[in-house]
Amino acid sequence: MGRGAGMAEIVLGVLLAVALAAAAFLAARYALLKRSLRQADRELGEIVGHLEDNRIVRLPAPDADLEALLGTVNRALAGIRAQAAACARHEAELKAQVEHVSHDLRTPLTSIRGYLALVDDAALDAEAREALGTVRRKAASLERLVAQFYELSRLQGDDVPLELGPVDVGRMLRESVAEQYRLLADRGLDVRLDVPEHAVLARANGEAVERVLANLLHNAGKYAKTALEVSMAGEGAGAAGAGGRVAVEFANDAEGLSESALSRLFQPFFMADASRAQEGSGLGLAIARHLLERMGGSIEASSEQCEGACWLVLRIELAAA
């Protein structure tokens, strides 16, 4: 019995040692696979964030099943990169076509407007003069549409940053309202301007700011019902060169706007008031947004209720200089 018991103990000891060794091996293998999966997950996250780097996911520790899975993931990444490259080529071709079409349209439109200007209104009867005035307005509207379409396409494809520097937004706002005053007055709008007399400097591009203000005033001139309020707000309005942000608000009474309409105001060709589609292209606000974003600024739209009327508020912000 003693010898049998001793042999049994030896066998049990060997089995226990083998079991412990197997458990240690499986534990080590499990830990190695978990570490490999974590590393592969990190690499995949980096690759997804920078698809243009053309990297693939690698497995530090060999495992046939996981290598097959990562092979499928790498093939999917290659397909995504190929589609992205094809989309980029298509977008570049489309922008080039837009530029060519815009250029080809501008030349005959300029000629048409020139010939229309040569027509002697005095030699025409009242009905013919009215028809000629309509043709002139439509030709001018089409010329503006082509120019805006070309400008938006150029802005969307131009990666060259704008040259930024100190810009007196308060002065430019006063000048812009003065330049657009006839348009606003012809609409019968009550215009209120609240802009400090001192300089309010923003870090921006002067030409771009001028275009943004003109587009926003033109938009208000088309869609405001009775009133337009233009004011400066934010930390930059109190003193020249104050830190923080320079903000300008354009508020006008308008038809009721849904949340869906507000979210789409800055999309190209979207016009909240379809009955006035003949008066604009729906590109002015989209151009303003692109210019502001290229200057590190922003634009937001909101609606407010005031004395039973709906007011549209467009707020632009730029970094104070």
Q: Verify that 25 and 143 share a domain, yes or no.
A: no
> For residue 167, what pLDDT is reported?
93
The CA–CA distances, whole Å, from 4 to 1, 14, 15, 16, 249 equal: 5, 15, 16, 18, 97
Domain CATH for 100: 1.10.287
Q: Verify that 50 and 97 share a domain, yes or no.
A: no
Question: Which candidate, 285, 173, 175, places its Cα nearest to that of 222?
Answer: 285
Answer yes or no: is 81 within a domain: no
β 227-233/190-194 pair status = parallel
Q: Verify that 170 and 308 share a domain, yes or no.
A: yes
Q: Verify that 274 and 239 share a domain, yes or no.
A: yes
222's CB contacts (< 8 A; 6+ apart) are: 187, 276, 279, 280
- Write b or e for each residue in 292-311: b if 16 or more Cβ atoms lie within 10 A of its Cβ, otherwise e: bebbebebebeeeeeeeeeb
Report yes or no: 155 and 284 within 8 Å, Cβ to Cβ.
Answer: no
Tens-digit pLDDT string for the chain (321 aa): 556 667 778 878 888 888 888 888 788 777 877 877 788 778 887 887 777 777 787 777 677 777 787 788 888 888 888 888 888 888 777 777 767 777 777 788 888 888 888 888 888 888 888 888 888 888 887 887 777 777 777 776 666 678 899 999 999 999 999 888 887 888 888 888 899 888 899 999 999 999 899 989 988 888 888 889 999 875 444 444 445 889 999 999 887 677 777 878 888 766 665 544 444 556 888 889 989 998 999 999 988 887 778 888 899 999 998
Q: Verify that 190 and 127 share a domain, yes or no.
A: no
Answer yes or no: is 312 within a domain: yes
β 190-194/309-319 pair status = unpaired
> For residue 3, what pLDDT is reported?
63
Q: Verify that 310 and 206 share a domain, yes or no.
A: yes
What are the φ/ψ torsions at residue 60 (nearest 5 degrees)? -60, -40
Answer yes or no: is 79 within a domain: no
Domain CATH for 304: 3.30.565.10
Question: Which candidate, 286, 247, 297, places its Cα nearest to that of 149?
Answer: 286
Q: Verify that 211 and 286 share a domain, yes or no.
A: yes
Answer yes or no: is 70 within a domain: no
- Residue that is last in its domain, among 156, 185, 215: 156
Q: Which residues pair with 104 in a beta bridge?
A: none
Q: Verify that 192 and 298 share a domain, yes or no.
A: yes
Residue 88 corresponds to which tokens in the numbers above?
């980029």
Domain total for the chain? 3
Residue 101: which domain range?
A: 86-156
> For residue 156, what pLDDT is reported?
66
> For residue 203, what pLDDT is reported?
93
- Residue that is last in its domain, among 135, 156, 177: 156
Please state the separation of Cα 164 from the chain's center in Å: 19
> For residue 159, what pLDDT is reported?
62
Report yes or no: 132 and 268 within 8 Å, Cβ to Cβ.
Answer: no
* Greatest distance between any 2 Cα atoms in the chain: 137
Q: Verify that 8 and 130 share a domain, yes or no.
A: no
Answer yes or no: is 172 within a domain: yes
User: What kind and span of H or E run contains 233?
Assistant: strand 227-233
